[in-house]
Amino acid sequence: MNLEHLKVFYVVANNKSFSQTAKDLHISQSSVSHQIKHLEEQWDCQLFERTTKKITLTPSGEILYKQVKKLISLMNETENELKELKGTVHGDLKIGASLTIGEHILPFLLADFSSIYPKVHFHLKVYNSEQIVEKLHNHEINLGFIESMLSYPNLKQVPFATDELIIIASPQFISKSTITIEELLELPLIIREKGSGTRQVMEDALRKNSVNPSKLNIVMEVEHTEVIKSSVEAGLGISIISKSAVKKEIKLDTLRQLDIEGIKLHRDFYMIYHEAALKLTSSKFIEFIREKYNLKL
């Protein structure tokens, strides 16, 4: 039995795509097909139903997938126990995070974690939520950090921190520190593009406070938080943004926080991961976050 072939099979089953698996594993699509064919010949059964539009697991494939999933979990458990026996925590910790968490939250957490476990090597990359889930399924990352609740039954999702969304403006653009809901709807607003997780969270928070997002006076849509901050500093309008993303600017008084009368906008940040596939470095980081934020996981 070839373990690499089983890993390829596992990724194909999660992706439901030979071409995407080839991209994720950095091998040719013909190599993916060859390894799946080898497994089918070895057990004399068909593992996938292939059509022009999609692939699905056959009953034989479902059985193999269930057992391979257990095998991967057992391998991780064995690796963790062997590392624990040595008395040191070392190795890679691969993390995928949304923009706000990756830029403004995780660097400080990783710095504190590194002071406790200096032999852990970090890999931190910024992705959107869908990419994070995909890379978790393919075991390209160990942990994900996202800004909105998702429904994935195979993944454990735990809120670990609460973030405040605030109104920001240039001190030269508006002098007061509190605005009404009516003023919020009238002032020119600079915001993330449609479809972004940050915008979705913001719109949901406004709806919970009886504010219709369609009535906002949106004058500019952009894809990056830094562009939003620069545009607001230039006086093009106001924005709604994570407070953690503008701490420096508020401290330097290049941006001002505005309160909305009677409204506070909050959202949760989430950890997301395969509970059965956690490596020791991942388990220790989750434990560190649990203690940091006093969580019950």
| Per-domain residue ranges of the chain | 3-82, 89-161+269-292, 163-266
Q: How sure is the predictor about 19, in pLDDT bands with cuts at 50, 70 and 90?
A: confident
Predicted local distance difference test score (pLDDT) of residue 106: 95
**Which carries the bigger pLDDT value, residue 237 or residue 201?**
237
Residue 75 has pLDDT above 90, yes or no: no
DSSP string for residues in 65-108: HHHHHHHHHHHHHHHHHHHHHHT---EEEEEEE-HHHHHHTHHH
Six-digit token pair at 208?
């919970």
Predicted local distance difference test score (pLDDT) of residue 25: 82
**Which carries the bigger pLDDT value, residue 83 or residue 262?**
262
Q: How many CB atoms lie under 10 A from the CB of residue 134?
A: 19
Cβ 67 vs Cβ 13: under 8 Å:
no
DSSP 193: P
Are 89-161+269-292 and 163-266 equal in CATH topology? yes
Whether CATH 1.10.10.10 fits 3-82: yes
201 three-class SS = helix
Calpha distance 91→28 (Å, rounded): 28
Calpha distance 219→168 (Å, rounded): 15
The mean pLDDT of 8-23, rounded to a whole number, is 86
Calpha distance 247→192 (Å, rounded): 19
Residue 59 has pLDDT above 60, yes or no: yes
Predicted local distance difference test score (pLDDT) of residue 1: 66
Q: How sure is the predictor about 197, in pLDDT bands with cuts at 50, 70 and 90?
A: low
Domain covering 163-266 in this structure, CATH number: 3.40.190.10
250 three-class SS = helix
Cβ 286 vs Cβ 295: under 8 Å:
no
Domain covering 89-161+269-292 in this structure, CATH number: 3.40.190.10
